[in-house]
Structure 1
């Protein structure tokens, strides 16, 4: 099967020879303008005065735009329409774009953007979690709380209790290719946008909104990105909108890319968290109750902070059964860059909280942390482990649990290893999902044995006992991670497949290529469905003019969603071919075989 072969990346030879084209490599038409933002030098306040005369008269400058010069609010937000491209009078974070410069070269635009004379009425900025809590600066009316059982009572009555706090900072995505976009004006006011983005449809939507155009007048193309990691899910919006505004205003192509220093200043990072916890457990380390308070520093605009914070809550249990749990989440608004999607999308932060709890329990009891973790796993259905006693049904104090609320869940059924179906109180996560097919016990056994964990741990303990300064460590952590989007309707994809007269296949789908090899994987699906060699299949750039209304390539879902969309499209065409040949040869369509680059029916091969 072609689909099962570990093949090289489809553009590997282009990558290593430098021939792979990214947005900044696309040959620009004559007269292309280059853009840069003028940035704020304070974190919070209002603009008292602004003088851009020196910017307008700088060498190579063609145009300068302030917020009042734009055709619309030019909103860049993926969610709450709270993120204008240019600040207007109010400054929300250090490095916020205030004005836009178009010049004849990238360097001229950057130099000119630093010549603006701006005076501010500065105010105290809210920068930290503590400052945001003191000011009650948040994106929701209060904390979001999910509960299962009575965690407070379980902790108070446990034989042992601990409490603690862990703080984790944000991260810069540091994709090798920075943010970039180019807009090419078309006849009739239409616009073509090349963007380094994980979400071409969102770019299309935002550009159309900014220009007061229907979405059919904007076409967005993305051939590849030099890395994304979530940082190009929404953060490319501002560049694409800026290019489109300038292109529409001047009738000239417009291009923008952030140098690394501007990228660091303007774009959002991973959300930094503080997680406080209180835990009750027994002498074996088995948790009877846990309380988490998660504080999320979201930045100045909402961006994707609400679902990120939700996912941190969803992963607060990681791979462990928590019979009584209370998870409280604060989504805090601060005068910093708007934190955004980053690999794991809140999941790593939530998992780090419970992993810290496991290590704290192990230290408190003097046990091997692996033993404490295993003692708290969900019960192993495969080996016949019995689920714990039922806890009170989960509930949400805000009424906002998840898109699929647990209200639809009645009594559960669990299939045991005997094959019999018994009505039992199934194990559930703190958010109410029934845990099935839990095989982490067997996986842990195999991993620890193959890694030689026991011998390596003994060696580490021996080293540490004999060395007072340099210490070694050895850690093990399980992961139970939910893929796909928590907003259910985003779990969809589309594909466009052409089969030509010579048997070659041309294909587009809604996913974007950012180095993960998605195009090759999806091409393998098509080759497999038609029974042809892989070289007969070509996938070209992701294009909103070919596959509309796509979801972002994110949430570990790109291969699954787009691969199945291509499979469905290929099967539709293949079935039409089979039915036609069956009617010609008066045979059953199931007798038509697609294999080895040929189509065969009884007695004939095409």
Structure 2
């Protein structure tokens, strides 16, 4: 069953926030962004900007004093967002790209042009810290969590083991890079302000704007029709844009809209944090893990907000799919002069999975064993205790590994790869296989809600849900659930835009599980209506659906209901269940250029009882490709003097394109595997598959190792810092001028 809006999206007919025509009196806004950091803000001069045709006015922090709260920190979770985050910098510039003023004009072009002409007078107050490695070197610690010792005593488990390894890696940031950049519009009405924004949590935005403007929540209506790519990037950053529009609209009494282009978006955008991870690990003669220690430094940016939750995500994911009886964990948050770090698809598991895979690779190398077999030996089994303290059950790792190993023809292809490498000097192939585990959290502060309204006139149904549709198919899944209970054609169901006044107090869309929660809420609402209709149906067994609703309405039966779903993790610590998968990737490397292609990827995910296999497979494919970009291509660079983001466009920030995705991508879902711990027996699928893309890195490593072996280079473990760019491939291969000479016998 395709997504209900799929045809409109494919045809370019789907409407997003900025597609709405401009209102007659609408103004357009643009941020004036600080060029350097850290710095003291001295003055803002708009003389040149005022000469731009269409220029209207400028708003600075001084204009907010006494009227609006200059703080966009989320109002919904004060414990997580405790430190003030200014809408407009008042005196201190914390990062390059930070908004210092809002320019208003008659068009977006005029606003953007005028904003670029505003002169920001500032004085740098120190040398910026622009990377996690630099922050570690300067001991720029903003928070240090207590060390954790999980399981057996680490020193006793580690000491005396024949195989011991240690190393480190630095993992770069990742931008959300959504196809829809940051945008919002605000219009004043008799009832208050109507805010239209692509937001993953309309309720949180409404509460934040209520506090900033000093208006009650019933005067702030937030509507989110659909999101052109979220991944965590349509949460706090949209608050900044929406707040700017709301302040301008409220003060001027006119509609205000802002649509940021890619460059300014990336300049202020929060990203996945950079990390420096140091590890020590030991394995026994039976090739089983004995002890693992992780010393992790994670980049917080300029503020500590959200970092505790990001730290927990990482610590709870560092074991990935592999059992180890002893862990020692140390985690520090490092301050840098950059935007704060935030959630990006798979916030903890994505970096943790790669780090763990490279650690396993290091141990296998040191033991001198096949890395694929080594990983298989150490997969979690039912009954083992994981790093969170949960007893593993229902992971299906061994079953998936065996099934995919056979379906992907691993042994046959390894033989073919060996033959190819033997006959090709400068093109080498490699293959690797691994598994991933992703903890799914159900402990949330609010319910997920669905409102169903049945039309007696024609039998059609409108469905409103509190989630955010951002491509993951939350709407079609909820519609399927409701239609199944009501026993009607799904084509009768129409999904409405998410609206904070229709379903207030709703839960955030995130963590991959919102779709299943909304499905359960839809089941609740549909069941209520079905029970009301039961006497009417029993009295009129042959009535059509339309006639049934007509008779029910005439009998005074309410044809509308709100369903909700709220639950906790149950008896498990930290998570409700784990979403698991296995992947096989084959790569081919051009040793002379460092470029590579992913020839084939075979993925298998345990999705439980899928609510919509077509949508789930699409999510698996998309997550894998996003992981491919994170692990092998995407990197951010900052100017060491100004802290300016130098990778602020497609010319220098590279995301996967058509030629980068696997030439042959095969997705399997595990059959006959209902998830007893999940809603409707399903498993979350939006984020977990991103981890399987880590095998792209080790597949390329296998190809590089084949070249080094053939050319007689020293055998050593190949350590590197991702992403695995062509430059790093060349460095790891050690190709020299002598290697390029072909001598005829």
Q: Does 1:63 align with 2:57?
A: yes
Q: Does 1:476 align with 2:478?
A: no
2:523 pairs with one of 556, 564, 567: 567
SS in 2 for 1:38: strand
**Which residue number corresponds to residue 466 of structure 2?**
510
**Which residue number corresponds to residue 23 of structure 2?**
29
**Which residue number corresponds to residue 140 of structure 1?**
143
Give me the whole-angstrom Cα distance separating, in 2, the residues matched to 1:465 and 1:313. Answer: 42
Distance 1:102 1:593, change over 3 A: farther
Which deviates further from its counterpart, 127-136 or 442-451?
127-136
Shift of 1:80: 2.7
* 1:300-339 to 2 correspondences below 5 Å: 300-339=302-341
SS in 1 for 2:294: strand
**Which residue number corresponds to residue 75 of structure 1?**
71
1:457 pairs with one of 414, 438, 447: 414
Give me the whole-angstrom Cα distance separating, in 1, the residues matched to 2:405 and 2:503. Answer: 45
Give me the whole-angstrom Cα distance separating, in 2, the residues matched to 1:217 and 1:136. Answer: 46
SS in 1 for 2:375: helix
CA contact (8 A) 1:43 1:91 kept: yes
CA contact (8 A) 1:278 1:292 kept: yes
CA contact (8 A) 2:38 2:127 kept: yes
Give me the whole-angstrom Cα distance separating, in 1, the residues matched to 2:392 and 2:446. Answer: 21
1:499 pairs with one of 440, 447, 454: 454
Which deviates further from its counterpart, 466-475 or 559-568?
466-475
Shift of 1:16: 2.6
SS in 1 for 2:69: coil
Shift of 1:334: 0.9
SS in 1 for 2:212: helix
SS in 2 for 1:480: strand
Give me the whole-angstrom Cα distance separating, in 2, the residues matched to 1:594 and 1:280. Answer: 70
Distance 1:47 1:286, change over 3 A: same
Shift of 1:322: 1.1
**Which residue number corresponds to residue 13 of structure 1?**
7
Give me the whole-angstrom Cα distance separating, in 2, the residues matched to 1:307 and 1:144. Answer: 16
SS in 2 for 1:42: coil
User: Which whole-Å deviations, capped at 9, do the CAs of 1:457-511 have from their partners, x for residues lacking one?
Assistant: 22223333444433221111201111245xx124630111112213221110111
User: Which whole-Å deviations, capped at 9, do the CAs of 1:410-438 have from their partners, x for residues lacking one?
Assistant: xxxxxxxxxxxxxxxx5211221121123
CA contact (8 A) 1:183 1:191 kept: yes
1:48 pairs with one of 42, 50, 70: 42
* 1:275-286 to 2 correspondences below 5 Å: 275-286=277-288
SS in 2 for 1:476: strand
Q: Does 1:364 align with 2:391?
A: no
CA contact (8 A) 1:55 1:112 kept: yes
SS in 2 for 1:312: helix
Distance 1:339 1:181, change over 3 A: same
Q: Does 1:428 align with 2:378?
A: no
User: Which whole-Å deviations, capped at 9, do the CAs of 1:6-62 have from their partners, x for residues lacking one?
Assistant: x12211221233221101111221011000001111121212333233334543222
Distance 1:212 1:332, change over 3 A: same
**Which residue number corresponds to residue 129 of structure 1?**
132
User: Which whole-Å deviations, capped at 9, do the CAs of 1:124-175 have from their partners, x for residues lacking one?
Assistant: 1122224323554344255553533212221112121001112211112221
Shift of 1:279: 0.5
Q: Does 1:166 align with 2:162?
A: no
Distance 1:96 1:88, change over 3 A: same
Shift of 1:306: 2.3
In the alignment of these two chains, the number of paired residues is 540
SS in 1 for 2:436: coil
**Which residue number corresponds to residue 399 of structure 2?**
442
CA contact (8 A) 1:146 1:430 kept: no
Distance 1:599 1:322, change over 3 A: farther
Q: Unaligned regions of 5+ residues in structure 2, if any?
A: 75-80, 550-554, 556-745
**Which residue number corresponds to residue 185 of structure 1?**
188
Distance 1:101 1:593, change over 3 A: farther
Distance 1:237 1:594, change over 3 A: farther
CA contact (8 A) 1:145 1:329 kept: no
Give me the whole-angstrom Cα distance separating, in 1, the residues matched to 2:110 and 2:446. Answer: 43
Give me the whole-angstrom Cα distance separating, in 2, the residues matched to 1:171 and 1:595. Answer: 54
CA contact (8 A) 2:144 2:333 kept: no
**Which residue number corresponds to residue 351 of structure 2?**
349
1:521 pairs with one of 473, 477, 481: 477
CA contact (8 A) 1:43 1:125 kept: yes
Distance 1:597 1:321, change over 3 A: farther
Give me the whole-angstrom Cα distance separating, in 2, the residues matched to 1:510 and 1:473. Answer: 45
Distance 1:524 1:224, change over 3 A: same
**Which residue number corresponds to residue 603 of structure 1?**
none
Give me the whole-angstrom Cα distance separating, in 2, the residues matched to 1:156 and 1:513. Answer: 51
CA contact (8 A) 1:148 1:431 kept: no
SS in 2 for 1:13: helix
Distance 1:175 1:226, change over 3 A: same
1:151 pairs with one of 127, 151, 154: 154
Which deviates further from its counterpart, 515-524 or 241-250?
515-524
Give me the whole-angstrom Cα distance separating, in 2, the residues matched to 1:484 and 1:300. Answer: 28
Q: Does 1:200 align with 2:206?
A: no
Give me the whole-angstrom Cα distance separating, in 2, the residues matched to 1:284 and 1:346. Answer: 30
Give me the whole-angstrom Cα distance separating, in 2, the residues matched to 1:455 and 1:284. Answer: 27
**Which residue number corresponds to residue 394 of structure 1?**
none
Give me the whole-angstrom Cα distance separating, in 1, the residues matched to 2:473 and 2:231. Answer: 14
RMSD between superposed Cα atoms in Å: 2.3
User: Which whole-Å deviations, capped at 9, do the CAs of 1:540-593 have from their partners, x for residues lacking one?
Assistant: 1011111111222111112111111111111112112225666x69xxxxxx89
Give me the whole-angstrom Cα distance separating, in 1, the residues matched to 2:28 and 2:543. Answer: 51
SS in 2 for 1:478: strand
